[in-house]
Amino acid sequence: MASTSNQSVYRATTTAPVNIAVIKYWGKRDVTLNLPTNSSLSVTLSQRSLRTLTTASCSANYPAEDTLNLNGQPQEIHPSRMAMLPSPKLSTLPLRIVSENNFPTAAGLASSAAGFAALVRAVADLYSLPQSARELSRIARQGSGSACRSLMGGYVAWRTGELADGSDSLAEEVAPAAHWPEMRALILVVSAEKKDVPSTEGMQTTVHTSDLFDHRAKNVVPERMAAIEAAIQARDFHKFAEITMRDSNTFHATCLDSWPPIFYMNDVSRAAVRLVHDINRAVGRTVAAYTFDAGPNAVIYYEEKDEALVAGTVKAILGASASGWEGPFYEKLANVTAPGVSLDQIDSRVVSGLKDGVSRVILTGVGEGPVSVEDHLVTETGEMVNN
Amino acid sequence: MASTSNQSVYRATTTAPVNIAVIKYWGKRDVTLNLPTNSSLSVTLSQRSLRTLTTASCSANYPAEDTLNLNGQPQEIHPSRMAMLPSPKLSTLPLRIVSENNFPTAAGLASSAAGFAALVRAVADLYSLPQSARELSRIARQGSGSACRSLMGGYVAWRTGELADGSDSLAEEVAPAAHWPEMRALILVVSAEKKDVPSTEGMQTTVHTSDLFDHRAKNVVPERMAAIEAAIQARDFHKFAEITMRDSNTFHATCLDSWPPIFYMNDVSRAAVRLVHDINRAVGRTVAAYTFDAGPNAVIYYEEKDEALVAGTVKAILGASASGWEGPFYEKLANVTAPGVSLDQIDSRVVSGLKDGVSRVILTGVGEGPVSVEDHLVTETGEMVNN
């Protein structure tokens, strides 16, 4: 148990990253155990841009009830989720968990994945449990499926597994960030409309009603998983990009094929799709790849060497209308003013659609998994730190 | 040969209707013969609202070259399409064909289907050929696939057929208009953006690249064809509606799953989808069904008895912002001012999206097939009539 100078309050603090899937998780084959219908694969994003910071603490001085505070707001504790947390039987002290994101929850980023990964990691550290990231990913999976992929850095697969008890449904590192560190991600945050259908509900609608869904899970994804893992090993961006874009499209196709239909992409998302195709066409090779989660935001992957062509063109289009051109990955681009691809190579409706619809960008790249830190969100005497 | 008082100019004139598919045609298994990958089914729309009028004429006095004039514009003649026309071997006189639509071509309605059906019918009449509508549909199919369904009224199936030469790929009447005359169609014409991908090109992109397409054609459509034919026989609007909506969604899902992806629906189309779901939810039964062709326009089917609930609600939403609240099907609705479904039952984004994005409506219903008429577009002396 990690102790402090005041022996009565025990604390452990960790950061955890956001991950953005390139082969999408959609649909559970077992809702209770949270087992997916298909394997998925994601890129862990750098915590220099986006991270959750979570302190798990326990003390005999705390009121008997466990508490959870997220971004300054007390949260209801789901007993079933807490029961999943790693915990030695003897840990009877009340828990106080405090967590905060360094990005707006409303931005539609996968904050629950980072949040649950940080929670699991921090609690395991609090009790000095010996579990590996792989073992912890099995626990995180039960709380929030894609959270399991946020326990590792780099390129991470979540294997659907075959066992009925789900014990082989966990995350595995396909390659560390250092294997292909040039991967960048430009997130276009689309002016938030209320989300169409929450993903937990949406995915089961798809499972039960889409005639195309089953075909994707059984026949399409296994081939794509093998192909994209090979592309990552070979650092073959062209292949990585095409599979990423096609799987995003197939995923949204199964949403549209659901009954009632589910739409996550809107006209601004479509403009981002066309932008990427227009850039790739103008450059004459595949330098950019889009992907969309259960919302309208676009994530555009590219390699650092093509930064001016991709992010530089987006910057020229958005100009001053989008905030977020800043941060640790912005250095090289700060001085770029001309678009990498001439704007007359881009459909004019795309240019106006993005200008009107993108409110913010986040420029980041592949990064590492959770890290233990000393920036505790609970003081030595058990008080919440006010940031 | 239909003759006129001036024996040297022969004329035959016919009207032909537009049809809107409820099971979509998408993809050719044989491009040369124009054979589809799957059967399709459509509702023929009334010619009181939308029709093509075509005069076929021939005369020894005409210049040697065949000519085709569409809506006042001379058209290039595709020799391969002309070669398909029904024609006795002895007809050596030059042809003059004049055609006009009573609706704007730019509205994104399926004008080529009506146009080619009228052409085939008029030429057959010119030569007094004995072919049935069924036989003529085989010819029309070769010129423009879905044109084959415009040779008949009511509810029309296009059987994909099994023979390699395509001789069994033709249209059949599933039920005449009189079997279920209460069917209405409200077309929401969405402010035209340039079309994403022409359908002839788009469908073959889907055939060659979508992993989901084949599954739809082989497994999904055959079941839906049988089910919707049964629904039509039973005049079961609930079943008809659900299959119609689901097949439209599946069709657009295979477009999105194509590579590169094809988007025909936009945010206004999505608003129309939600409107229909909101109306059905508010009423507590399925009173409306949407379908979308290769473009953003919505076609909303409903039964006459539910006119106030469906068209009345659309009218209340669009108010004066859309033109087209007129015509032979408008009578009952002319005095309706209140929405059939209270607008607070409709998502407010849907209301604003439709108000901003729908420029025109067309209110029509199921109707009859081509009709021979005497409103010739060529005078007795062979001159084009100026309308």
- Residue A204 is predicted with a pLDDT of 93
User: Quick one: pLDDT at residue A206?
Assistant: 95
Q: Residue B343 is which amino acid?
A: L
For residue B242, the chain A residue with the least C-alpha distance is: A259
**Most confident region among A71-80, A91-100, B3-12 by mean pLDDT:** A91-100
Binding-face residues of B in 89-118 toward A, CB within 8 A: none
Q: Cβ of A248 under 8 Å from any chain B Cβ?
A: no
* CA distance readout (Å), B330 to A326, A362, B314: 57, 52, 13
Please enumerate in sequence order all residues whose Cβ is within 8 A of that of A71, keeping only pairs 6 or more positions apart, or say none: A99, A100, A101, A105
The architecture in CATH of the region B183-365 reads 2-Layer Sandwich (3.30)
Cβ–Cβ < 8 Å for A146, A25: yes
Mutate to test the interface with B, among A24, A195, A267 (most CBs of B within 10 A): A267
Q: Closest Cα of chain B to A254: distance in Å?
A: 7
- The rounded radius of gyration (Å) of the Cα atoms in chain A is 21
Predicted local confidence at residue A106, as pLDDT:
59
Rounded Cα distance between B185 and B311, Å, is 9
Mean local confidence (pLDDT), A277-282: 97
* Residue A356 contacts B, CB cutoff 8 Å: no
Is the pLDDT at A193 greater than 70? The verdict is: no
3-state SS class at A349: helix
Are the C-beta atoms of B190 and B245 separated by less than 8 Å? Answer: no
Do A273 and B257 make contact, defined as CB atoms within 8 angstroms?
A: no
Alpha carbon distance B93, A290 (integer Å)? 58
DSSP reduced 3-state for A278 = helix
Q: What is the pLDDT of residues B92-114, one digit of tens each?
A: 889 999 999 988 765 667 778 99
Report helix, strand or coil for A360: strand
Q: Is the pLDDT of residue A89 over 60?
A: no
B220 touches chain A (CB under 8 A): yes
Give the model's pLDDT for residue B197: 72
Can you read off the two tokens belonging to residue A313? Answer: 């063109």
Q: Which two tokens stand for residue B321?
A: 């912002």
Q: Which fold has domain B9-179?
A: Ribosomal Protein S5; domain 2 (3.30.230)
Given a cut of 60, is residue A163 above it in pLDDT?
Answer: yes
| Same fold? A9-177, A183-365 | no
Cα angle, residue A101 at apex, residues A83 and A195 outer, rounded to 5°: 85
Tell me how far apart the alpha carbons of residues B285 and B266 are, in angstroms, rounded to a whole number: 26
The closest alpha carbon to A288, from A310, A316, A314, belongs to A310
Domain residues of chain B, as ranges? 9-179, 183-365
Q: Mean pLDDT, to the nearest integer, of B207-218? A: 95
The pLDDT assigned to B195 comes to 61
* Sign of the Cα pseudo-torsion (B229, B235, B241, B242, in order): negative
Cβ atoms of A367 and A46 closer than 8 Å:
yes
Q: Would you place residue A4 in the very low, low, confident or very high pLDDT band (cuts 50, 70, 90)?
A: very low
Instruction: Provide the shortest C-alpha distance from residue B275 to chain A (in Å).
Output: 12
Nearest Cα neighbor of A347 from B198, B268, B264, B195 is B195
Spell out the residues 6+ positions from residue B373 whose beta carbon is closer than 8 angstroms to its own: B13, B14, B15, B53
Secondary structure (H, E, C), chain B: CCECCCCCEEEEEEEEECEEEEECCCCEEECCCCEECCCEEEEEECCCCCEEEEEEEEECCCCCCCEEEECCEEECCCHHHHHCCCCCCCCCCCEEEEEEECCCHHHCCCHHHHHHHHHHHHHHHHCCCCCCHHHHHHHHHHHCHHHHHHHCCCEEEECCCCCCCCCCCCEEEEECHHHCCCEEEEEEEECCCCCCCCHHHHHHHHHHHCCCHHHHHHHHHHHHHHHHHHHHHCCCHHHHHHHHHHHHHHHHHHHHCCCCCCCCCCHHHHHHHHHHHHHHHHHCCCCCEEECCCCCCEEEEEEHHHHHHHHHHHHHHHHHHCECCCCCCCHHHHCCCCCCCCHHHCCHHHHHHHHHHEEEEEEEEECCCCEEECCCCECCCCCECCC
3 state DSSP class of A224: helix
Q: What is the mean pLDDT of residues A283-299?
A: 96
With a cut of 50, say whether residue A386 has pLDDT above it.
yes
pLDDT digits over B243-301, tens only? 999 999 999 999 999 999 999 999 999 999 999 999 999 999 999 999 999 999 999 99
Residues 18-77 of B with CB under 8 A from A: none
**Strand order, beta sheet including B9-17:** B73-75, B67-70, B95-101, B51-59, B9-17, B371-373
Tell whether the torsion through CA atoms of B139, B142, B143 and B147 is positive or negative. Answer: positive
- The secondary structure of A77-129 as a DSSP string is --HHHHHHS---TT--SPEEEEEEESS-GGG---HHHHHHHHHHHHHHHHTT-
Question: What's the confidence (pLDDT) of residue B332?
Answer: 87
Query: Any idea what DSSP says for residue A3?
Result: B
Contact status, residue B147 vs residue B120, Cβ threshold 8 Å: yes
Tell me the mean pLDDT in the region B308-312: 96
**Can you tell me the distance from the alpha carbon of B266 to that of A263, in angstroms, rounded to the nearest whole number?**
11
pLDDT band at B5 (very low <50, low <70, confident <90, very high): very low
Between A38 and B93, the more confident residue is A38
- Categorise residue A284: left if φ over 0, alpha if ψ from -120 to 50, beta otherwise: left
Across the strands, what pairs with A205?
none
The Cα of A60 is separated from the nearest Cα of chain B by a number of Å equal to: 51
- Inter-chain residue contact A259 with B250, CB threshold 8 Å: no
d(CA B264, CA B269): 9
Instruction: Kindly report the nearest CA distance between residue B240 and chain A, in angstroms.
Output: 15
Do residues B108 and B78 lie in contact, with contact meaning Cβ atoms separated by under 8 Å?
no
Mean confidence (pLDDT) of chain A: 91
pLDDT, tens digit (0-9, with 9 covering 90-100), for A295-321: 999 999 999 999 999 999 999 999 877
Supply the CATH classification number for the domain A9-177: 3.30.230.10
pLDDT at B4: 46
Residue-wise pLDDT tens digits, A6-15: 458 999 999 9
Subunit contact A252:B256, Cβ cutoff 8 A: yes
DSSP 3-state assignment of A290? strand
Q: In what helix (H) or strand (E) does residue A289 lie, and over which residues does it extend?
A: strand A289-291
> What CA–CA distance (Å, rounded) separates A151 from B49?
62
Count CB neighbours of A204 within 10 A: 15
Supply the pLDDT for residue B39: 97
CA distance A350 to chain B (A): 12
Secondary structure of residue A35 in the 3-state scheme: strand
Average pLDDT of chain B is: 91
Give the residue-averaged pLDDT of A42-60: 95
Rounded to 10 deg, the angle between the B267-283 and B348-357 helix axes is 130
Q: How many angstroms from the chain centroid is the CA of residue A155?
A: 12
**What are A289's strand-pairing partners?**
A301
- Collect all residues with Cβ–Cβ distance below 8 Å to B225 and sequence separation of at least 6: B23, B39, B41, B157
**Omega of the bond leading into A260 within 30 degrees of 0 (cis):** yes
Report pLDDT digits (tens) over B179-201: 999 999 999 999 766 666 778 88
Mean pLDDT of A176-203: 86
CA B235 – CA A86 distance, rounded (Å)? 59
Inspect the interface and report whether the beta carbons of A246 and B256 lie closer than 8 Å. Answer: no
Q: Which is higher by pLDDT, A80 or B358?
A: B358
Q: How many CA atoms, within 13 angstroms, populate the side-chain half-sphere of residue B67?
A: 16
Query: Each residue of B69-85: pLDDT tens digit?
Result: 988 888 887 777 777 78
A244, closest residue in chain B (CA to CA): B259
Q: Inform me whether the pLDDT recorded for B203 exceeds 50.
A: yes
What are the start-end ranges of the H helices in chain A? 79-84, 111-126, 133-143, 199-209, 213-215, 221-233, 237-256, 267-283, 307-318, 331-334, 348-357
Q: Is the pLDDT of residue A2 over 70?
A: no
pLDDT band of A107, cuts 50, 70, 90: low
The residue written with tokens 């009578």 in the block is B331
- B183-190 and B298-303 as β-strands: parallel, antiparallel, unpaired? antiparallel
User: Which residue in B211, B220, B349 is closest to A211 by CB distance?
Assistant: B220
- A273 touches B: beta carbon within 8 Å: yes
Nearest residue to A180 (alpha-carbon basis) of A365, A369, A50:
A365
Q: Report the C-alpha dihedral over residues A175, A178, A183, A187, rounded to 10 degrees.
A: 90
N- to C-terminal Cα separation, chain B: 26
pLDDT digits (tens, 9 = 90+) for A211-223: 999 999 999 999 9
**What distance in Å separates the CA atoms of residue B162 and residue B165, rounded to the nearest whole number?**
9
Which residue type, as a one-letter code, is found at position A27? G
pLDDT value of position A5:
46
∠A30-A368-A300 over CA atoms, to 5°? 75
Measured CA to CA, the distance from residue A171 to residue A282 in angstroms comes to 37
